[in-house]
Structure 1
Amino acid sequence: MSVVVTNIANDVSESQLSSFFSFCGKIDSIDLTKDGDLQQAKIVFAQQEAAKTALLLSGTQLSSLKLDVNPLDHKSPEPSLSTNEAPASYSDISQEDKPKSAIMAELLSHGFVLTDVAIEKSAEFDQTHGISSRFTNFVSSLDSKYGISTSAHSADDKYSISANAAAVESTVLKYLDKALGTAPGVKVRKFYNDAFKTVADIRAEARRLADIREGKPFQTDQTDQTEGEHVIPESASVSL
């Protein structure tokens, strides 16, 4: 499915636009052209689910302007959820499978500035349409495959990482807290399994993801409320 993005500032490059919208899912092509004094882009996504996420980003500021994102045919795609009940391994989950609120947390953690309105839209989408079974199976598979549980650990090991969890890709640790089995770990697991989330929940998870990438200790109640000037990254990994 394709979307049309208008009101793009002239200092935004195609690679920067791709970096931003790739959080929504796989992009097949981007056609960035002049639109009067500004720019516009036609973005073709590989899956409809990615386009739905992109539509939630309308009104988000990129560089100096707020983007306007619309479906190419001006008709909003019908909501749908993955019906694939097969458990997903930690390595094959896609952006399209993730809750919309989780994608917003990823964007925030990489330095993109999102308004509370955009974040609220993602939370409302998850509440209305639920979390895909494929994603919830993915989180559950981590519990069983790597021994990540929500049971209490002793004081001696509550901040340790199990040998199995430490051996897998850092993807695992971005979904379940490094303090396995502790209250923070339970809170993080709940974030990814429950459809109901607040703006504060999403901003707190964004801070956690950023801290993990930067090697900082995770603080359970830390919430990033900053909406300062945004510097667009030339490239941002979305493998979380």
Structure 2
Amino acid sequence: MTTHAVNVSNLAPTTTEDHLRDFFTFCGKIVAIDLHNTEPKTAVVHFEKPSAAKTALMLNGGTLDGAQLTVTSDTTHHDEEHEEPAAGDHIEQEHKPRAGIVAEYLAKGYTLSDSILERAIKMDTEKGISQRFLAYFNSLDKTIGSKALGENQTVSAKVQSAVSAATQQAKAVDEQKGITKSATEYYSKALASPWGQKVRQFYTTTSKQVLDIHEEARRIADQQKASGTAPAPAAPTAPGSAGAGITGGPATTDPTAPATTVV
């Protein structure tokens, strides 16, 4: 099977294969990791899809275990073409906006420079938001709206006051039918919350700024804190559904704090 690889250098001596997997799994499905315990330590991360490798290259200059990573590739990786709408209630990391992915990194506690955030915004602006992601989000919007507001209703179509009322209704339905137990994905919870309008706007537009990403990171972190779980990448499920932390992994930093710019 063809894989799409990136080279990672300037690794910290304490970095393990598990640390690398936890870090790069936000980009997409990892097929294999070749860790070379040389001096200095290096690695090659193989992804299933080229878009995941492209996202990984965006993270050049990111921090793992206190070391500023150098991420390069011997080839050029492109986003997949001819994406089909999602058929189910799962969205892969590869089909999320890059700005959303870096927000997940910050919420997890990793340190990324503002230059990386700007890189993510630029990539979203150039590529646009994938049709698969839009189809997924719109489907969620309608599904949650139907449960909370009634048949054929959407959360995003309501004004903020109605969204707040819908949230209370959703909680009541939740208690009766246990929806949260079966719909634990971050996006589901976010869209049904009082600030669901902001979340939807963030993930479905490309006119973002660095501060918007920091704000989204805070929302993700607060959402996970409220639900009692730690933010995590969607591999194989959506962010926040698994992973309680990494030994030697992300720093315990404020996801809304400005990062040091990488030159």
TM-score normalized by the length of structure 2: 0.74
The residue aligned with 2:83 is 84
The residue aligned with 2:31 is 28
SS in 1 for 2:27: coil
Q: Counterpart amino acid of 1:54?
A: A
Q: 2:101 aligns with which of 103, 107, 114?
A: 103
Q: Distance in 2 between matches of 1:89 and 1:157?
A: 28
Listed as ranges, the gaps of 5+ residues in structure 2 are 146-153, 228-253
The residue aligned with 1:173 is 188
1:77-117 per-residue CA deviation (whole Å, 9 max, x = no partner) reads: 23x35533424432x21011111111101111111111101
Q: Counterpart amino acid of 1:32?
A: L
Q: 1:136 aligns with which of 128, 134, 137?
A: 134
Q: Counterpart amino acid of 2:200?
A: R
The residue aligned with 1:219 is none
SS in 2 for 1:2: strand
1:3 equivalent in alignment to 2:6: yes
Confirm or deny: 8 A CA contact 1:81 1:132 kept in the other structure. Answer: no
Q: Distance in 2 between matches of 1:28 and 1:107?
A: 20
Q: Counterpart amino acid of 1:58?
A: N
Aligned residues: 214
Confirm or deny: 8 A CA contact 2:121 2:209 kept in the other structure. Answer: yes
The residue aligned with 1:69 is 71
Q: Counterpart amino acid of 2:198?
A: K
Q: Distance in 2 between matches of 1:215 and 1:188?
A: 16
Q: Distance in 2 between matches of 1:99 and 1:175?
A: 16
Confirm or deny: 8 A CA contact 2:106 2:255 kept in the other structure. Answer: no
Q: Distance in 2 between matches of 1:156 and 1:20?
A: 35
Q: Distance in 1 between matches of 2:166 and 2:225?
A: 21
Confirm or deny: 8 A CA contact 1:81 1:131 kept in the other structure. Answer: no
CA root-mean-square deviation: 2.4
- Identity level (%): 34
SS in 1 for 2:10: strand
- Over 3 Å counting, the alpha-carbon distance change for 1:155 and 1:86 in structure 2 is closer
Listed as ranges, the gaps of 5+ residues in structure 1 are 217-221, 229-240
Q: Distance in 1 between matches of 2:17 and 2:64?
A: 12
Q: Distance in 1 between matches of 2:8 and 2:163?
A: 52
- Over 3 Å counting, the alpha-carbon distance change for 1:13 and 1:117 in structure 2 is same
Aligned-pair distance for 1:133? 0.3
1:19 equivalent in alignment to 2:22: yes
1:149 equivalent in alignment to 2:155: yes
The residue aligned with 2:123 is 125
Confirm or deny: 8 A CA contact 2:121 2:206 kept in the other structure. Answer: yes
TM-score normalized by the length of structure 1: 0.81
Confirm or deny: 8 A CA contact 1:6 1:69 kept in the other structure. Answer: yes
The residue aligned with 1:188 is 199
Q: Distance in 1 between matches of 2:50 and 2:69?
A: 20
- Over 3 Å counting, the alpha-carbon distance change for 1:174 and 1:88 in structure 2 is farther
Confirm or deny: 8 A CA contact 2:31 2:48 kept in the other structure. Answer: yes
Q: 2:168 aligns with which of 151, 160, 163?
A: 160
